[in-house]
Amino acid sequence: MMNIISGGICAAKGFTANGIHCGIRHNKTKRDLALIYSEVPASAAAVYTSNLVKGAPIAVTKAHIADGKAQAAICNSGNANTCNADGVEVAEKMCTLLANEMGIKSTDVVVASTGVIGQRLNVEPIAKGIPELVKGLGDHSDLAAEAIMTTDTKKKELAVSFEVDGVECKIGGIAKGSGMIHPNLATMLVFITTDCAISSQMLEKALKHDVQNTFNMMSVDGDTSTNDMVTVLANGKAGNPEITAEGPAFDAFMKALNTVTVYLCRSIAGDGEGATKLLECCVSGAKTEQDAKTVAKSVICSSLTKAAMFGADANWGRVLCAIGYSGADVDVEKVEVKFHSAKGDVLVCENGAGVDFSEELAKQVLLEPSIEIVIDLHDGSGEATAWGCDLTYDYVKINGDYRT
């Protein structure tokens, strides 16, 4: 049995967090330094951006969790620490400063940064802020979630409880991400904590499998970022028998992990820069799962479809167009398209051709803040879902003066 609970990344036993303003960001009302801490060393796993240009923190984190262990994660917003000659040195310094303050090993620290690319990160504000950051550790998932935000307008966090071999376990996550988001992964940082006992090898297996159907199926603007990272820490404080192989216990963990990650995906996509609507493209009837994924991502990435959704225009031809150039093996004469929201359903395309429908109803359906683009290819059993958002005037405005 699984239940949504409060607490975010502090819901699991043995985890505390905090977020403060240390001075990286000029706006003193915005927190810019976050910390997540486990009472004991935890199993650790992470996945990273596929961009060849990677932030320095990624190289440092990869090296630090190569042994499958970590005890803390520190993250700053306002500066990506990317494309800087001293980037690795600064990232390592952040880990060392935190480790010295907490009495842990610097190699047990995960480090992350998000913000402007190509500007040197001054470590002094971080050094001055770490004592306050550590002193304020507590049940503060919300403060950590706020401190990792850049152009996000909402905090993103969720936690659930679940059972493994009769033992209650908890898993929670926070995320940031609003723009520069495109598979694989997105301009996002995701931190997940759990008190479930699971080996680092199985944790990595679970994470790598999960992201293929969650974070890699999300797009806001077609730009793959340089600092993307999803990290999971599992400290075993729940006391369940350690998960070391596939089986019912691993399946229960995977289901709980997926519940958290899907929620965070929807939260990120719905909070896309300038967005007014969450778009969910659900594809069924594909020849293969890969074909379904290809179609879903093509539709969700289509600028013309995204613009039509912003205007509440049931221009299904743009959806069909995106299916056609996706590269998937599709018989376009079998394609069916519906739009769905809280206001109802409207069938707009059948057998690859338009059908009569009420423009008035379609308008009402597409004016809702959450819209499903439902596609049935009628050619197999492959299924997939992708998430995105509409394309608005504000997206250009936000990114036109991002550095200023």
Q: Which residues are catalytic?
A: 187
CA torsion sign, 56 to 179 to 258 to 35?
positive
Helix (H, G, I), strand (E, B) or coil at 133: helix
Compute the C-alpha angle 66/69/75, nearest 5°: 90
CA torsion sign, 234 to 232 to 16 to 4?
negative
What b-and-e string marks burial along 367-384, b requiring 16 or more CB atoms within 10 Å of the CB?
Answer: ebeebbbbbbbbbeebbb
Q: Please give the distance of CA 92 from its chain centroid, rounded to a whole number.
A: 25
Show the beta-strand stretches assigned E in 29-155.
33-48, 69-79, 109-116
DSSP string computed for 187-235: S-EEEEEE-S-B-HHHHHHHHHHHHTTTGGGB-SSS---SS-EEEEEE-
- Residue 85: CA atoms inside 13 Å, Cβ hemisphere, count? 0
How far apart, in whole angstroms, are the C-alpha atoms of residue 353 and residue 349?
5
Q: Tell how many helices (H) and how many strands (E) occur in the chain.
A: 11, 15
* DSSP 8-state assignment for residue 243: B
- Element housing 296 (H / E): helix 289-301
Helix (H, G, I), strand (E, B) or coil at 177: coil
For 19-50, what is the HEC assignment? Answer: EECCCCCCCCCCCCEEEEEEEEEEEEEEEECC
